[in-house]
Each structure stands twice: as C-alpha cells, then as structure tokens.
Chain A
Amino acid sequence: AQSVTQPDIHITVSEGASLELRCNYSYGATPYLFWYVQSPGQGLQLLLKYFSGDTLVQGIKGFEAEFKRSQSSFNLRKPSVHWSDAAEYFCATTTNFGNEKLTFGTGTRLTIIP
C-alpha cells in the first residue's frame, strides 16, 4: 500500500527566510501527490498537486514542489515565508482512483518567528 512520510514534526522559520518541507512516498509506480495546508481552526486547502509531466509544480500562495523519483520525494518549498504561512502542512498521495482514498502523512507544523 502507498504511504507518505513527513520526517519533520515541527519547523520554525524566520519571516522572510526560505522554507523546505520534506515528504517521502512509498509506492512502486508514480503516485499522485498533493500538498495541503491547514490553518488553525480550518479545514484543509489544496496547495498543489503532481500527477505527471513537469516535475516542478507551482501552487497557490507562492509555494512550489519538486517530484524526484530517484529520491522518492516531493518536497514543498517557498523562497520567502510570511507570518500568514504559519499552519500545519500535509503531504498526501493516492494511487487508486477507484476508491478516492487519500493517504496522508502525519503533518509538519510550521511556526514563523519575526
């Protein structure tokens, strides 16, 4: 079965600094990969997705992610974070469009310091 691992439980970044959140997937074929953001007290919002094609994908709010098959990774990046980026970030994957099951990582909580 497919799975995703987010090795960082909590990351603290200074406002204006760059950000990289790690995600590793486990699946033999090319999975479908997503990054979601959850602001405090809110539901999950899709930041970006990768299905195929260009391995560098652009998302909303200035985020991007790069799919690297050789490393089984789909890391999320942002060149300069804003205080409003403080949230929890989830990587997710699905490989079976038959049941529409998204398998989520355990999440990375991002704290922004002034």
Chain B
Amino acid sequence: EAQVTQNPRYLITVTGKKLTVTCSQNMNHEYMSWYRQDPGLGLRQIYYSMNVEVTDKGDVPEGYKVSRKEKRNFPLILESPSPNQTSLYFCASSPDPGEYYDGYTFGSGTRLTVV
C-alpha cells in the first residue's frame, strides 16, 4: 500500500530533550515536506525537500532541523524542544508535478507535547 509513515504517533517530552520524528514514504516521491497544524492557523510548512540532499526552509523553520540522506526518509529533528513546539505534525510526500499531480500524500500525524 502506498503510504507515508510517521513515528511515533504520540510523544510527550520535556523541554530541551532532543527528539526525532521519523517519516518514510514508499512511493519513490521526489518531494517531501513537514507541516505543523495548530488550532486556528491551519497547516504551516516547516521544511521541504526536493530530492536527496536538497532541503530548504518553509514558513516556520525555527527550532527544527531536517535531513534527506535517502529518498524515502525525511526525519524531523527538534534539538531543544520548547513548549511552543507542542503541535500536531504531518509529513507529506509528492511526485514531480505534472499532468497527474495530486498534491501531497500525508502521513497520519504525530501529536507532540512538550512540557
């Protein structure tokens, strides 16, 4: 089944403790992206990647890092989490745009709480 898999689904951590949220896709997509969803704000892009070793900042990159060493994986790293990073996070992937472009395929989300 074609899918984007995020882990973990739920995570509670303490301020300052480094964490990584993993994301993997099995569709051989070139593009991958991380979004955070907050009430009243919709989804905002954190980082995106157009291919292996090619990443760039989205709208809200502060406090986050990413890497794309393999095409299928795009982990999100919070080196020193803070309470304002408590949010619902989505990883997504898409193929190169073209006639059959369907936008992104989204993972099921990771609900992160930083206390």
Contact = CB atoms under 8 A, between A and B. Distances in A.
B58 A101 contact: yes
A104 B42 contact: yes
Interface in A7-62: 9, 32, 34, 36, 41-46, 49, 51
B56 A92 contact: no
Given A49-B103, A102-B103, A43 B109 contact: yes
A105 B43 CA distance: 8
Best-buried of A34, A42, A99 by chain B (most CB within 10 Å): A99
A102 B90 CA distance: 13
B103 A42 contact: no
Contact of B108 (A34, A42, A97, A102): A42
Interface string A78-110: 000000000000101010011111111111000
Given A42-B108, A46-B103, A100-B97, A105 B58 contact: no
Contacts of B43: 44, 90, 92, 102, 104
A46 B41 CA distance: 19
B45 A102 contact: yes
B77 interface: no
A100 B31 CA distance: 7
B33 A49 contact: no
Nearest to A34: B103
A43 B42 CA distance: 13
A99 B42 CA distance: 19
Contact of B102 (A9, A42, A46): A46
Interface of B: 4, 31, 33, 35, 40-45, 48, 50, 56, 58, 90, 92, 94, 97, 101-104, 106-109
12 contacts: A44-B43, A44-B90, A49-B101, A51-B101, A92-B103, A99-B48, A100-B104, A101-B48, A102-B45, A102-B104, A104-B35, A104-B43
Given A9-B40, A41-B108, 8 more contacts: A44-B43, A44-B90, A49-B103, A94-B103, A99-B48, A100-B104, A101-B33, A106-B40
